[in-house]
Amino acid sequence: MVNELRSSRNASRRAAAVLALSVALASVSPVAAQSLTDRFKGLFGGSSDEPAQSKPAPAPGQPAANDDLDCPQVTVRAGASTYAVGVTGKPAVGNEIRFQATITKMARECARNGGDITARIGIQGRVIAGPAGAPATVEVPLRVAVVQGGVGEKVIASKAYRTKVEMPEGGSVPFTFVAEDMAYPMPSAKDADSYIFYVGFDPQALSPEPKARAKKK
């Protein structure tokens, strides 16, 4: 009899806990519940635990958004796929390496905005601690550019970014970054095929921006 009573009480407690959890989850708004991981899953073509949100139809007379015809391919700029940092005052080679970052995956999506293209460029990579030991937090410098290829390559737009990565002791950790604000004029039909997105590491992105010169009176 005592055992039956205890079992009944435990079952009641579990039911109450489940009910409380259900109420708590129901009170979270969809925006708050959507994690950063979900955003990257969407951009990189992975599945999300949440149901897909239907996109609004374009306004009459406006072209569809996220059209691959208007979205250049994305690739890593030659020579910019890795970024290594060594002990202060020494080259980043051999046992002097503190950490090294690599780019492993890219993705992009574009939308027309009047006469411009607005793009979101996603970058995934990994930071590995080196023999000299990585700091607790590392800053990874990145650059994203849209370039018109050809005999005379032309940079249409270029932006530098920084992202911080928390490092486990003596290990490696993935990092993800999305450039949200890449915008450039919509190319003509004859030039669109020659456009390309370049991503890569750019140590100059860590340099402080030059101060604007004071105007002469």
pLDDT at 216: 55
52 in a domain, yes or no? Answer: no
pLDDT tens-digit readout, 59-91: 334 444 444 557 999 999 999 999 999 998 888
Residue 53 has pLDDT above 80, yes or no: no
Phi and psi dihedrals of 98, rounded to 5?
-85, -45
Q: Are residues 124 and 23 in the same domain?
A: no
Q: Are 100 and 130 in contact (CB under 8 A)?
A: yes
24 in a domain, yes or no? Answer: yes
Residue 158 amino acid letter: S
Q: Which two tokens stand for residue 97?
A: 């390496």
Q: Are 74 and 199 in contact (CB under 8 A)?
A: yes
Q: Are residues 95 and 198 in the same domain?
A: yes
Q: Are residues 25 and 42 in the same domain?
A: no
Which helix (H) or strand (E) is 92 found in, with range?
none
pLDDT tens-digit readout, 200-212: 999 887 776 555 4
User: In the 8-state DSSP scheme, what is residue 27?
Assistant: T
Number of separate domains in the chain: 2
CB atoms within 10 A of CB 127: 22
Q: Are residues 191 and 156 in the same domain?
A: yes
Q: Are residues 168 and 187 in the same domain?
A: yes
Residue 14 has pLDDT above 70, yes or no: no
Q: Are 84 and 99 in contact (CB under 8 A)?
A: yes
Higher pLDDT: 83 or 27? It is 83
User: In the 8-state DSSP scheme, what is residue 201?
Assistant: E
pLDDT at 209: 54
Q: Are residues 70 and 15 in the same domain?
A: no
pLDDT tens-digit readout, 112-132: 888 999 999 999 999 999 999
Q: Are residues 23 and 72 in the same domain?
A: no
Q: Are residues 104 and 10 in the same domain?
A: no
117 in a domain, yes or no? Answer: yes
pLDDT at 131: 92
Closest alpha carbon to 72 in 144, 19, 167: 144
pLDDT at 163: 94
Domain span including residue 181: 38-46+64-206
Q: Are residues 176 and 104 in the same domain?
A: yes
Q: Are residues 86 and 26 in the same domain?
A: no
Sheet strand arrangement including 137-148: 73-76, 195-201, 137-148, 154-166
Higher pLDDT: 170 or 190? It is 190
Q: Are residues 114 and 13 in the same domain?
A: no
Q: How confident is the model at residue 16 (pLDDT cuts 50, 70, 90)?
A: very low
Q: Are residues 96 and 8 in the same domain?
A: no
Q: Which residue, chain included where needed, has tokens 């989850």?
A: 25
Q: What is the CATH number of the domain that holds 78?
A: 2.60.40
CA distances from 162 to 14, 140, 143 (A): 46, 6, 9
Residue 22 has pLDDT above 80, yes or no: no
